[in-house]
Each structure stands twice: as structure tokens, then as C-alpha cells.
Structure 1
Amino acid sequence: MPRRLYLAGDSIDIGALRSKDLTFAEFAVKWFEDYVRPNNKYSEQLSKKYILSSSLLPFFGRKPVGQIKGHDIERYKAQQVQEGYTNKTITNRLKQVLAHRI
């Protein structure tokens, strides 16, 4: 079964993206323009943009999407806990923008 990136309930097969070696930052821009803008109300767009820019892009931005593994998600979560965020906040951020499954 191919690895998929599950974003806001929809899935995108990242197999095709892997060949282009898109970084998470490049993928986030494409995802935001191609999925978020046409499918989310303005307030949801702002929320997702904030989560991306303040939390996810600083951590995952340079990493190729095809190389993001479960361990990377766990490292992100651990860093967020150290910064004082609750598990619920961290989970909500990941669910709203990025949930990784292998």
C-alpha cells in the first residue's frame, strides 16, 4: 500500500510527489492553493495558514515530503510539548493540517 499524506480528511498519494522531491514547504504551498483555498471558508484558511507558518513549516519545511516518517512526527510532538503546548493542541494542529500514516 502506498504511503499517503492525509490532509484535512482527504488523502493525496505522495508517490508522485516523491519523484519531484518536493520539500514540505513546497508541498504546503501547492496544497494550500490547490486544496485549502477552494474548499475551506476564509476563517479556516487563516487557521491553517497560521498553523503552517508558526509551527509546521519551521519544523518540516526543508524535509522532502517523501522522507517524512512517523518518527519525524513524534519528534515534532516532543518539541511542541517542550515548548509548553498541550497534547490536545498538538494533535489538533496535526489533524487540521497534517496527519501522517504509513
Structure 2
Amino acid sequence: MSNIIDGAVAALGAKIGTGFDGSAKFAIEGEGAIIIDGAGVRAAEEDAEADVTMTADADTFKDILSGDLNPTAAFMGGRLKVDGDMGTAMRLGSALG
């Protein structure tokens, strides 16, 4: 597992905690994937199933986590790809903001 995934799991866990309603997967290109669900935040296999999958490069993901980039702006600007349930993606975006 990469240092980026380890750091992201810790940062997302601090922001979101446990009990997220639904499941979301962040796929970080070239690094791996993270699952967020009712059990918390953890590293996952790239092919793990989730209600929504969000894909971005490592720099975009870091900018979202740090608060320098709004997830909606990243999506609208083409830096974040979303596949699946947009409602779950919006709830996660609100939790990160």
C-alpha cells in the first residue's frame, strides 16, 4: 500500500469517521483505492464494489482532502470522474467540506 493511500485513509477517517450512509470508493490513479462506508474508511482493492466510484490523480485527491479544491469544482473541471450514485457523491462532498 502506498504512503498516499495510508495518509488518505487517516485524513478521511478523521473527517468522516464511521457511519457514512452508503458506500463510496476513491480510486487514486497509480496508487490504489479507498472505501468509505458504514464501517469507516479503509484501503480497498481496485475492483471493490461501491455505490459510487470517484477517480482522480493523486494531486487532485490531495487538493480535495486539504480543502484547496472543492469536490464539485473538481468534477465540473474534469479533474474528478464520478461513476454511480450522484446522491452518495454529493453527501460525501458535503462531509469533506
TM-score w.r.t. length of structure 1: 0.34
Higher relative contact order (CA 8 A, sep 6+): 1
* Structure whose residues are more often strand by fraction: 2
Greater Cα radius of gyration, structure 1 or 2: 1
Task: Answer 1 or 2: which has greater helix percent.
Answer: 1
